Amino acid sequence: MIVGLKEGKFFSEGKFWSSLFNNYGIVLVDTGVTKEYAERCTDNFNDLPYLTMDELCRGVKLFMLDTLEGDKTFGQFSEKSFPKEVLSYIVLNDLRVNLPPDRETIGYQLEFDCKWQEDLRLEIDIIANKAVFIGKYDPSRSVWDPELAQDPGNYITRL
C-alpha cells in the first residue's frame, strides 16, 4: 500500500512499507501511471520469489566487491560472505515506477545508497519478477530501456 501519494509536475511521490528492509521507502510514480499499478509494483517488491532475491543478492555482492577499495572488505563483509549479507550494506532510497508499455507487466527501478562508499548509488531494475539490471545508478535510465540488458555495467550479465 502506498501512503501519502502527492502529485507533482513530472511524478507523484509517496511512501510504502518495505518488508525486506523493515522500514518505509519512497515511491516515485511517473505521470500517467495509476496508483493501482504503482501499488502492484511495491507489492511485487515485497513478495519477490526466492530465486529472484538470490540472483539479486549475488549481483549486488559482485557490484560491492568491484567497488570496494583496498582489500575488498567492509565491516564484516568480504569475498567469503554469503550473498544475502550484502543487504545490510545498502539503504533503500526509492522505488521508481516508470510509465509501462502495458499495464500487465510489472516493472520498476530501485535506487540504493551504498554504505561502503558515500557517493555511490546502486540501481536494481526488476521486470516480471526478474532482475534485468544491477549496477551503478543512472537517473536518466528507465526500467523499460531496451538497451539495459546489454549495458557493460550490468552485473546481471556477470552471474
Domain boundaries, the chain: 2-158
pLDDT value of position 79: 86
pLDDT in tens, 84-133: 999 999 999 999 999 999 989 999 999 999 999 999 999 999 999 999 99
Q: In which element (H, E) is residue 60 found?
A: helix 50-67
Asked if residue 46 has pLDDT above 90, the reply is yes
Residue 126 CA, distance from chain mean position: 7
Mean pLDDT of the chain: 94
- 110: alpha, beta or left, given left = phi > 0 and alpha = psi -120 to 50? beta
**CA dist list (Å): 62 to 14, 55, 87, 98, 146:** 31, 11, 13, 26, 23
Q: In which element (H, E) is residue 40 found?
A: helix 35-46
Amino acid making up residue 18:
S
Look at the alpha carbons of 149, 15, 39, 1 in this order and tell me if their dihedral is positive or negative.
positive
Position 9 confidence tier, pLDDT thresholds 50, 70, 90? confident
pLDDT value of position 25: 96
pLDDT value of position 53: 94
